[in-house]
Amino acid sequence: MELIDTFFNWDILLRSFPILMRGLSNTVVLACCSIVLGTFAGLLLCLVRLYAPRPVQLLAVAYIDMFRALPILVLLILIYYALPFVGIRFSSFVSALLALSMVLAAFTAEVCRAGIQNVPVGQFEAAATLGMPFWLGMRKIILPQAVKVIIPPLTSNSIAVFKDTALASVVAMPDLLKQAQDTQALMANPTPLIGAAIIYLALLWPLVRVVGYLEARNQRLQMR
Amino acid sequence: MTAAHPHVIDRNSPPVVSMTGINKWYGSYHALRDIDLDVASGERIVLCGPSGSGKSTLIRTINQLETHASGTLRVNGQELTPGMKKLDVVRQDVGMVFQHFNLFPHLTILENCTVAPISVRKVPKREAEERAMHYLERVKIAEQARKYPFQLSGGQQQRAAISRSLCMVPKIMLFDEPTSALDPEMVREVLETMIGLADEGMTMMVVTHEMGFAREVADRVIFMDAGEIKEVAAPDAFFANPKEPRARAFLNQIMH
């Protein structure tokens, strides 16, 4: 079978497997770093957006708007290919990490804002009347309640960022996709690309299911 | 009727709450007009009046959930000004009970009662839990300590909210329509808790339409209308013979 030999060549898949695994580890490290960095920066950004003095708030709004509108690929190319002209040079990994987490931070900030604003005013008042300083109340009372609403969309955004790590191959980072492309060229057969696709699927499909589960659970909790 | 609940009002010490010439506006709406009011230690005050008369705004001003535009407000001797730094410290001594309880839904009843003493007053966890159990027993829901708020009835939730406030050992308790959101059969249990509290000499300011409660425990009834204190009287005198025509009309309406 011509088709199977071309796209699902078992022999080639086996030989490319170790190379793909090396790419996968790069992808996972990039994804995890971006998600952690982007999420924390996003929460911070959201608190600035909500509670900082007015001019600083507006800066946060500008940042959030800009990075929600800017395609990650464009940002990545700007960082990797344009910044060197002003003497700022980042490795492909750092460039990808910056681009991904800067965009994720903007989306996370919006998700967190919705989560915090979803907590009834009475909760803020109850914390305040017990003598809790604002940030203590935020930490002990407000955020724990907001998190329940925030987790599903946050996970969803994280999945999106995980997928977008593939963009790093454009700046020659040896991620899963780049390794697959190189192997495909080396072995003159597209099977490694299929292998990469299967690995992405195997990794992310369970996470997609988890989001679905969390959303359904939240719905049940709200019905109560 | 106050003789049924004897207690001591300490008029020699400085007042717990002292309001002089307090004004507040919502846009062009004059919510509080020249409010002058002193509350002595141990005194129980009931505020009543038609909705929108400013009674909730008044007690919410005392812990600065609402800020005042002008006038002087002192709580436990400390002057409160909008945007002041030490507001948290003043609030520690001012308990507040809300119409909708506002228990923390992600914490158990016990944790609701210990979170502020532990994190604000730095009471050791064991001691805070013992204190919480003491107050939960007093409001008769000790057996609910490990449950979450949604597992309790409205009346139980409100009693839990009262004990949450008491755990901070406040010098004054503010009640903002504490029984208005309750089913009728649960009103009594909350009022009894409040009467018990009054009997122990707690300084209280209560916004309520429960005139039976006012008659039984209030030292003074304050009638408000359109942001103004229209009448201040002992409950017997107020209910028997309200001087203000608006108060008379109001009483007629709610007594029927």
The pLDDT of residue A9 is above 70: yes
Which of A118, A123, A125, A130 to probe by mutation at the B interface, max B CB count within 10 Å?
A: A130
Q: Hey, are the CB atoms on B91 and A131 less than 8 Å from each other?
A: yes
Give the residue-averaged pLDDT of B136-141.
94
pLDDT score of B227 more than 80: yes
Q: What is the mean pLDDT of chain B?
A: 92
Q: Give mean pLDDT, residues B122-141.
A: 96
Q: Is the pLDDT of residue A25 over 60?
A: yes
Residue to substitute from B106, B112, B158, B175, interface A, most A β-carbons within 10 A? B106
pLDDT grade for B48, boundaries at 50, 70 and 90: very high
- Mean pLDDT across the stretch B40-66? 94
pLDDT more than 70, % of chain A: 98
Give the pLDDT mean for A110-123: 95
Q: Is the Cβ pair B98, A122 closer than 8 Å? A: yes
Q: Does residue A83 have a pLDDT over 70?
A: yes
Residues of A in contact with B96 (CB under 8 A): 125-126, 129
Please list every residue in chain B whose beta carbon sits closer than 8 Å to the beta carbon of residue A131.
88-89, 91-93, 116, 120-121, 168
Distances (CA, A) of B252 to B129, B208, B243: 46, 16, 13
Question: For residue B5, what pLDDT is reported?
Answer: 62
Which of A96, A42, A91 has its CA nearest to residue A73?
A: A96
User: DSSP letter at A97?
Assistant: H
B222 to chain A nearest CA, in Å? Answer: 23
Residues of B in contact with A123 (CB under 8 A): 102, 104
| Residue B27 near chain A (CB below 8 Å) | no
Query: What is the pTM (predicted TM-score) of this model?
Result: 0.85
**Which range is least confidently modeled, A214-218, B136-140, B223-227?**
A214-218
**Across A59-67, average pLDDT:** 96
Q: Residue B3 — pLDDT band, cuts 50, 70, 90?
A: very low
| Average pLDDT, integer, range A9-33 | 89
Q: What ipTM does the predicted assembly reach?
A: 0.92
Show the 3-state SS of A112-134. HHHHHHCCCHHHHHHHHHCCCCH
Q: What is the pLDDT of residue B255?
A: 75
pLDDT class for B130, splitting at 50, 70, 90?
A: very high
* Residue from B157, B117, B115 nearest B136 by CA: B157
How many Å apart are CA A57 and CA B13, to the nearest integer? 46
pLDDT digits (tens, 9 = 90+) for B162-196: 999 999 999 999 999 999 999 988 999 999 999 99
How many residue pairs bridge chain A and chain B with CB atoms within 8 Å of each other?
62
pLDDT band at B12 (very low <50, low <70, confident <90, very high): confident
Residue, of A123 and A187, whose pLDDT is higher: A123
For residues B15-25, average pLDDT: 95
List pLDDT tens digits, range A30-46: 999 999 999 999 999 99
- Residue pointed to by tokens 């030292």: B219
Residue of A nearest to B89 (CA): A131
Q: What is the pLDDT of residue B2?
A: 47
The structure tokens 């992600």 sit at B106
Q: What is the reported pLDDT for A201?
A: 94
pLDDT of residue A29: 95
CB < 8 Å to B105, chain A: 145
- Chain A residues with CB inside 8 Å of B89's CB? 131
CATH dotted code for A2-223: 1.10.3720.10
Distances (CA, A) of A75 to A102, A121, A171: 9, 38, 12
- B65 lies within 8 A of chain A by CB: yes
CA of A51, closest CA in chain B: separation in Å? 14
CB nearest B98 (choices: A126, A144, A145): A126
Residue B212 Cα, gap to closest chain A Cα (Å) = 28
Q: What is the rounded distance in angstroms from the CA atom of residue B84 to the CA atom of residue A96?
A: 45
Best probe of the A interface among B84, B88, B94, by most A CBs < 10 A, is B88
Q: DSSP for A193-212, please give it.
A: HHHHHHHHHHHHHHHHHHHH
**B120 interface with A at CB cutoff 8 Å:** yes
pLDDT of residue A112: 95
pLDDT of residue A160: 93
Mean pLDDT of A167-184: 88
Which residues does chain A have within 8 Å of residue B150's beta carbon, measured at their own beta carbons? 224
**Chain-chain contact of A126 with B102 (C-beta, under 8 angstroms):** yes
Residue A223 — pLDDT band, cuts 50, 70, 90?
low
**Structure-token pair, residue A110:** 């919006």
CA distance A182 to A11: 17
pLDDT in tens, B70-86: 999 999 999 998 878 88
Which tokens is A34 given?
């971006």
pLDDT, residue B167, reads 97
Give the mutation candidate from B86, B118, B119, B135 for the A interface (greatest A CB count, under 10 A): B119
Query: Which structure tokens are listed for B209?
Result: 């339409």
B181 interface with A at CB cutoff 8 Å: no
Which residue among B94, B102, B165 places its CB closest to the CB of A123?
B102
pLDDT surpasses 60 at A15: yes
Beta carbons of B115 and A141 less than 8 Å apart: yes
